[in-house]
């Protein structure tokens, strides 16, 4: 083959090769693509595989991604702090890459879904209540996402708390007999989670003479 023919052949082939390279679409994958944690959170590493520059964004502001951008394949660290929500929530991290393909910007995404369980909690509908000097009762609503129990500080004689323990939400009945002590009196009822004893809600019941 003559030199001129070789040059002519390259003139035809090179544009075709350039066109093939230019036509390579962007791609990105991430592994793992889902993680689940209890309320305490945690951290993990994710492998990003891509053929271009990439950027990571998350719809949860408290989740930390290191680094948040790069070029080609990479390993990122993802830190998931303890949940501050009373519901199980899911966060999504999007890894995005873009490339020009035949003068058109093409974008691809891969995502990681992170699920965090709700923080343990126990709440009361009120923080205190009053019972008539003649005796009687009142009710308070308790909401919790774990089993709970109650204790009484400085219990007034005859004070009843029903139920005194339970699982999840309950309607608490608190009762006192007639106050014959001649003085105002009060007791504090502490509701705490059995598996998380530091998680508490307090209720003060008062009675005048």
Domain for residue 13, yes or no?
no
- 19 within domain boundaries: no
Residue 5 lies in a domain: no
CB contact at 8 A, 147 and 67: no
pLDDT in tens, 122-178: 999 999 999 999 999 999 999 999 999 999 999 999 999 999 999 999 999 999 999
Q: What is the CATH number of the domain that holds 82?
A: 2.60.40.10
Q: Look at residues 68, 98, 116 and tell me which one is the last residue of a structural domain.
A: 116
pLDDT of amino acid 13:
47
Q: Among 36, 89, 35, which residue's Cα sits nearest to residue 62?
A: 89
Q: Under DSSP, is residue 121 helix (H, G, I), strand (E, B) or coil? A: coil
CB distance 194 to 120 below 8 Å: no
Tell me what pLDDT residue 4 has. 52
The pLDDT tens digits of the residues spanning 64-78 come to: 999 999 999 999 999
The tokens of 147 are what?
């089993």
Q: Are residues 32 and 97 in the same domain?
A: yes
Cα 68 from chain centre? 20
End of a domain among 97, 116, 135? 116
Place of tokens 């995502």: 111
Structural domains of the chain, count? 2
DSSP, collapsed to helix, strand or coil, labels residue 171 as strand
Domain interval for residue 97: 25-116
Report the largest interatomic distance among the alpha carbons of the chain, rounded to a whole angstrom.
Answer: 122
Question: pTM score > 0.85 for this model?
Answer: no
């Amino acid at each position: 083959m003559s030199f001129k023919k070789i040059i002519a052949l390259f003139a035809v082939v090179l544009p075709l090769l350039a066109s093939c390279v230019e036509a390579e679409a962007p791609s990105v994958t991430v592994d793992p693509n889902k993680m689940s944690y209890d309320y305490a959170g945690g951290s993990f590493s994710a492998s990003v595989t891509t053929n271009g520059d990439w950027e990571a964004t998350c719809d949860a502001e408290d989740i930390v991604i290191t680094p948040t951008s790069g070029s080609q394949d990479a390993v990122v660290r993802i830190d998931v702090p303890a949940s501050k929500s009373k519901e199980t929530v899911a966060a999504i991290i999007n890894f995005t890459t873009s490339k020009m393909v035949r003068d058109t910007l093409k974008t691809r995404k891969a995502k990681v879904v992170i699920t965090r369980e709700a923080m343990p909690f126990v709440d009361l509908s009120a923080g205190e209540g009053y019972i008539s000097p003649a005796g009687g009762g009142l009710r308070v609503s308790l909401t919790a996402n774990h089993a709970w129990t109650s204790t009484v500080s400085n219990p007034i004689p005859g004070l009843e708390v029903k139920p005194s323990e339970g699982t999840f939400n309950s309607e608490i009945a608190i009762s006192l007999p007639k106050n014959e002590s001649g003085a105002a009196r009060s007791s504090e009822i502490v509701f705490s989670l059995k598996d998380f004893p530091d998680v508490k809600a307090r209720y003060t019941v008062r009675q005048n003479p």
